[in-house]
Amino acid sequence: MKVDLRINGVNRVADVEPRKTLLDVLRENFLLNGTHAGCEHGVCGACTVLVDGEPVRSCLMFAVQADGYEITTIEGLAPAPGELSVIQDAFCETHGLQCGYCTPGMILAAHALLQNTLAPTREDIAEAISGNICRCTGYGQIIEAVQFAADRLRVANTPRPILTEKPVVEAK
């Protein structure tokens, strides 16, 4: 079955079995290996991608269901090869990871949060990443990374598109 996907800003076409998940199509058809299989039943969040900016579990979505949507994978976040986004860099600064397996999904969940929230509280961050299980870090340095990224994004001269869901709160 032919499927038209827009992945990281590029139109991609594939001929896939209707039963094939978005996760498997991203990895096998498009060689986007940054999206990882963890539980394949929608709990761990390792396979998280953004669909029209919202975090989605690519293991629970068939690729044919994603037809026509804007999909962002971890490969779509780095501005250029060897160059990190503010959030990716913040994870490096606080060591918000260890084995790196949950990290792409975790960063995409954080990215979605920070697209909409200027100054998230610790609770906001915990809620945003609570669907992503990390077995290595105990989440402390992940939460620090997201806080650090939020601080840097607030002072960065980078417009963010939406910022409507929550009232804008100034930094402490």
Partner 1 sequence: MSADPATFRFVSTNRRVREDRRFVAGQGHFVADVALEGLLHVAILPSQHPAARIVSIDASAALAMPGVHYVLSGDELAAATDPLMNGLDTPNVRRYPLAVGQTRYAGEWVVAVVAETRALAEDATEKVRVIYEPLPFVMNAEEALKPDSPPVHPAHGSNVLLDRTFVWGEVDKHFAESPRELSFRVTWGRSSTVPIETFGVAASWDPWRDMLDVWASIQMPKYPDQIARALRIPANNVRVHQDVDVGGSYGVKRGIKQTVLVAHLARRLGRPVRLIEDRLENMRGGDAHGPERIFDIDVAFNDDGIVKSMKIRALDNAGAYAGRAPFQLGKPIGAIVGPYRIESVQYRAQSVTSNKAVQEAVRGFGQAPTNYAIETAIDKVAAATGLARIEVRRRNFIRKDQFPYLIPSGSTYDSGDYHTVVDKVFAHIDFASMEKERDRLRASGLLAGIGIAACLEPSGANSSFEPLLNEKNTTTTWMDSCRIVIDALGFVTVTIHNTSSGQGHETLVATVVGEVLQIEPDLIRVIRPDSLACLPSNSPVGSRMAIMLGGAAFHAAQKLKTKLTRIGAHQFAVAEDKVAYANGSVASTDKQLAWIELVTIAHRQYHMLPEGTEPGLESTHVMQVPTGGTLPKDGRVQMYPCHSFEFHVVLMAIDPALGKPDIRRYVIGHDCGTVINPHIVKGMTLGGLAHGLGAALLEEFVYDDEGHLMTQSFMDYLLPSAHEVPEVEIVHHCTPSPFTVFGQKGSGESGYLGAPAAISAAVNDCVSPLGISFNKLPIRISAIGDAIADAQQGKPQEQAK
String of contacts with partner 1 for each residue 11-50, x by CB under 8 A: ------x-xx------x----xxxxxxxxxx-xx-x----
Strand ranges, E, within the chain: 2-7, 10-15, 48-51, 54-57, 70-72
Interatomic CA distance for residues 170 and 90, integer angstroms = 20
| Site for partner 1 contains 126 (CB under 8 A) | yes
> Between 9 and 167, whose beta carbon lies closer to partner 1?
9
> Between 8 and 115, whose beta carbon lies closer to partner 1?
8
| Site for partner 1 contains 139 (CB under 8 A) | yes
* Dihedral sign of CA atoms 118, 119, 124, 128 in order: positive
- Applying the rule CB under 8 A, the residues between 77 and 106 that interact with partner 1 are 77-78, 84, 88-89, 91-95, 97-104
Stretch that binds partner 1, among 4-12, 64-72, 119-127, 157-165 (CB under 8 A): 119-127
Report how many residues bind partner 1 under the rule CB under 8 A.
58
Q: How far is CA 86 from CA 35, 52, 62, 114, in A?
A: 20, 20, 31, 11
CB of 51 to partner 1, least distance (A): 17
Return the DSSP state at 64: G
**Vertex 97 angle, CA 149 and 140, to 5°:** 70
Interatomic CA distance for residues 151 and 147, integer angstroms = 6
Residues that bind partner 1 (CB under 8 A): 17, 19-20, 27, 32-41, 43-44, 46, 73-75, 77-78, 84, 88-89, 91-95, 97-104, 107, 122, 125-127, 129-143
